[in-house]
Chain A
Amino acid sequence: MAFLIPVFAMTETPLEIESEVSTVEAEPDKPPRSQWVDIWQQLKAHKGAMVGTYLFAFITIGVFVGPFIWHIDPTYLPQGRDFIDLRDTRPIYTLIWDSQAKVSWAHPLGTDNLGRDALARLMSGGRVSIAVGLTAMVLSILLGTIIGVVAGFFRRMDGSLMRLTDLFLALPLLPLILVASLLFRDPLSNSFGTEGGIFILIVVLIGLTSWMQTARIVRGDVLALKEREFVLAARSVGTTPVQLIIRHLLPNTLSPIMVSATLGIATAIITESALSFLGFGFPPDFPTWGRLLNDSVDRMVLYPERVLWPGLMISLTVLSVNYLGDGLRDALDPRIRGR
């Protein structure tokens, strides 16, 4: 994420100064460092954050690129004799302690009770889980930022928007998500297809119930920034409020937004898996990690790997994202940076 940022940082420095500097004889040895370079240095020093970044990138790439290497269709159901031959194979590593186990090199992580390949299902489940996490995070950040900026910038909207935020914070969210996911399931499935409808439903539900923290943080930042001199200067040269928000306020509130964005991915993935686990998420033939976990709980005594792998993937993804968010928070906090 930090690679994309310098674009914003550039808008802060007027171009005239750079040309003036070049006319001066004594040039500094090093070009001035932008704050984003500092942040990147700081982030690189945070071991947990780097491990988290690589792990999350690895999981995401594995899940999205994996199907191009691993060609087995996750929904393929073997028929006839194949069904009996292929179902319930154990992962290949079971051989280490049980040489009699039914394994197959064609299915390194085994198959489920219907003969579907576990690795392919794990990858397709991860695609959905991570896609839900990212989309829901974008939605919640968008909502939170808009509400926070509007509340902080326009005094007239402040009271009502913040009361709305308080009300949302007082709602019992998980029960309401559960109820709403049952409620809107059929209408959305009818208009967008089963998979698309439920994807939209879950993303919107998670987004609608997780924007409050971001809104509060952004509002607080905007309130403080609004009183600073550079905003007054921008106002005095006739910048319109929209330009003021986009060019001057948003780039300065970017760091808390980035931190809540990273942590938001983790929350969204956990909420989605929890919904699927309770049976309120995606349908059974459309596996996500939570759904795979839920489906395998009944047979976990005989086939513990079917519970372990999806659960491990959820936990690792969330753990890596949380570490990344933690490191990002430290790197973006100027009081901690440089220590």
Chain B
Amino acid sequence: MLTFTIRRLVLAIPTLLFISLVIFLLLELAPGDPMAQVPLTVPPEVKEKMREALGLGQPLHVRYWKWLVQFFWIEPKVLIDYAFNTSFSADDLRVISWQTRSPVMDTVAQRMPQTLWVVGTAYVVGILIAIPVGIYSAYRQYSWFDNAGTFVTMVGFSVPPFFSGVLVIVIFSVQLGWFPSIYDTTHRVTDWSSFLAQVNQMIMPVMVLALQITSQISRFMRASMLDNLNQDYVRTARAKGLRERSVILMHVLRNSMIPVVTVIALGIPAIFGGAIITEQVFKVNGIGQLLIIAIQANDLPMVQTLTFIFAVLIVLFNLIADVLYGILDPRIRYD
């Protein structure tokens, strides 16, 4: 298992390099000019100087190398400095955003908590709902609960978040006035009432995201339980006289969880991508909204860094899913 993990880690490096190259080249083709906002009265030679100051004067491969160095070497050093109060990165040039002229990573670090709070909570809530629903629907296949559950998950699967989000805003914040329609990110939790306010404003975005997550995972859970319920070992367990409860929850559930756990791991990076739309609907200024703004403003370093962070997350969680699969299921041996 260890050799497998190490081999996968080593293999992840060329994958990530290739993805970074794709992202870099795609963005280099972008027609947007960072000098477009500069007044026309500025003479061309001055513009050329400004361009060089932004690091645009050099040939493509030099810029790609510099970006890689900044991302993989300088930014981790900054992180270490921040964590241990050292000064490794004192005079290194970091990835600078063209919009704010401040390091990209600082902005990302500011936005991260909002995304993690909303998306993370939604993911946990979604899983907590999905697993019991999936178990019970499979156990009572074709019962009214199963039919209702299948229908609801199908709807959750089909209704896009930009409609369900708008719909809950119309119903719960416009008509009923229960929850605020805009997520206030400046809100600080200091005491009980401000905590309640935070929960209040999180309910709608979390529910919209959780509906999607629940529908995906509970479908998987149901299918996986159904696969296992007809197996011989279940009959054996029942024949031994085990209580139904322990047959389902100890024997079937543990075997059914194997594929579901990997699906949960694989879904984590996709949630960051999917949250772009939900964040836009509820005006949560998280990572997804940052990406949209950066694309619209032609802020290449920001877009490059963000897309690459997403790519790293995907590769990382693919790896985690594979390793988890091997750990959970002793029948699977990669080496």
Contact = CB atoms under 8 A, between A and B. Distances in A.
Interface of A: 48, 166-167, 169-176, 178-180, 182-183, 186, 266, 270, 273-274, 277-280, 290, 293-294, 297, 300-301, 304, 307-308, 311-312, 314-315, 318-319, 322-323, 326
Contacts of B22: 171
Contacts of B315: 170
B314 A274 contact: no
B169 A172 contact: no
Contact of A171 (B158, B166, B174, B311): B311
Given A170-B315, A300-B174, A179 B30 contact: yes
Contacts of A183: 26, 29-31
Contacts of A293: 162-163, 166
A314 B160 CA distance: 8
A87 to B, nearest CB: 22
A312 B170 CA distance: 14
Chain B: number of interface residues, binned into ranges: 35 or more
B155 interface: yes
B158 A319 contact: yes
Interface centre among A175, A182, A315 (most CB of B within 10 A): A175
Contacts, number: 119
B292 interface: yes
B267 to A, nearest CB: 13
B88 interface: no
B160 A318 contact: yes
Nearest to A174: B273
Given A172-B307, A300-B174, A312-B163, 18 more contacts: A166-B15, A167-B18, A170-B15, A172-B314, A175-B291, A175-B306, A182-B30, A274-B160, A274-B162, A278-B276, A278-B277, A278-B292, A297-B166, A307-B166, A315-B160, A315-B163, A318-B158, A319-B158
Q: For the complex of A and B, list the 4 residue pairs with the smallest distance between their C-beta atoms, beginning with the closest.
A: A172-B310, A311-B163, A319-B158, A318-B158
A173 B174 contact: no
B248 interface: no
A172 B313 CA distance: 9
A170 B26 CA distance: 16
Contacts of A294: 162
B314 A319 contact: no
B27 interface: yes
B13 interface: no
A170 B154 contact: no
A179 B277 contact: no
B157 interface: yes
Contacts of B174: 300-301, 304
A179 B23 CA distance: 10
Contacts of B273: 172-175
B167 A311 contact: yes
B292 A170 contact: no
A146 B291 CA distance: 34
A175 B310 contact: yes
Contacts of A171: 19, 22, 311, 314
Interface in B149-189: 154-155, 157-160, 162-163, 166-167, 169-170, 174
B134 to A, nearest CB: 16
Contacts of A186: 31
A47 to B, nearest CB: 10
B292 A178 contact: yes
Contacts of A326: 154
Contact of A311 (B27, B166, B280, B303): B166
Contacts of B311: 170-172
Interface string B266-302: 0001000110110010000000000110011000000
Contact of B276 (A174, A266, A315): A174
B224 interface: no
B318 interface: yes
B154 A322 contact: yes
Contacts of B276: 174-175, 278
Nearest to B23: A176
A339 B268 CA distance: 36
B332 to A, nearest CB: 17
B169 A277 contact: no
Contacts of B277: 274, 277-278
Contacts of A173: 273
Contacts of B154: 48, 319, 322-323, 326
A167 B307 contact: no
A279 B280 CA distance: 11
30 contacts: A170-B314, A170-B318, A171-B314, A172-B307, A172-B311, A175-B273, A176-B23, A176-B307, A178-B292, A179-B30, A179-B295, A179-B303, A182-B30, A183-B30, A273-B160, A274-B160, A278-B276, A280-B295, A290-B162, A294-B162, A300-B174, A301-B174, A308-B170, A311-B167, A314-B163, A315-B155, A315-B163, A319-B158, A322-B158, A326-B154
